[in-house]
Structure 1
């Protein structure tokens, strides 16, 4: 399934056009590789990393939905690998710590 269609079916974005813009902006990674084309095929087991609002979402694809359905059905198709957004919080805390001066 194409990444732009998957993002829409999993209800991370409202439209396929919005998903396409997210992908073309270069903000999406699949298994750690930056993606810049909406035609990239996604398979079960792939890990997606992308910004959504003020959070960074990290999800594993468990199933490929056939169509955009209710939120409960969409949530059953992926597993949130960072449910509390701890990676974003940790990055903010690390950035706010003073750097040690070289000796």
Structure 2
């Protein structure tokens, strides 16, 4: 699945367009590798690192998801990893 689509499904961004712009302009990492293309492929067990606001999010992808569902469904798509 595309990175921008997954970030939208997981409800980190309100629209896929916002996710696409963020990836193109910010440093987002997949398994420690910097990516700047929204079409980068993600799969379960990959680790994403990205900054949202004042916080750096580190999440492990658990599932890809079929749709952008409610928040509890979106939360089940990833596990938060403590970066501290």
Question: TM-score range with shorter-chain normalisation?
Answer: over 0.9
Aligned length: 84
Q: Which has the higher strand share?
A: 2
Q: Which runs of 5+ in 2 are unaligned?
A: none
Aligned counterparts of 1:28 and 1:71: Cα–Cα separation in 2: 22
Q: Which runs of 4+ in 1 moved over 3 A?
A: none
Q: Which has the higher helix share?
A: 1
Aligned counterparts of 1:75 and 1:24: Cα–Cα separation in 2: 24
- Counting only pairs closer than 5 Å after superposition, residues 73-92 of structure 1 correspond to structure 2 as 73-82=73-82, 86=84
Higher RCO, 1 vs 2 (CA within 8 Å, ≥6 residues apart): 2
Q: State TM-score, norm by structure 2.
A: 0.95
**Which of the pair has more CA radius of gyration?**
1
- Give yes or no for contact 1:26–1:36 (8 Å, CA) kept in 2: yes
Instruction: Name the Cα RMSD after superposition.
Output: 1.0
Q: CA deviation at 1:28?
A: 0.5
Q: Which runs of 5+ in 1 are unaligned?
A: 87-103
Deviations 1:50-92 (A, max 9, x none): 011110000000001111000100111100002xx63xxxxxx
**Which residue is equivalent to 2:64?**
64
**Which residue is equivalent to 1:51?**
51
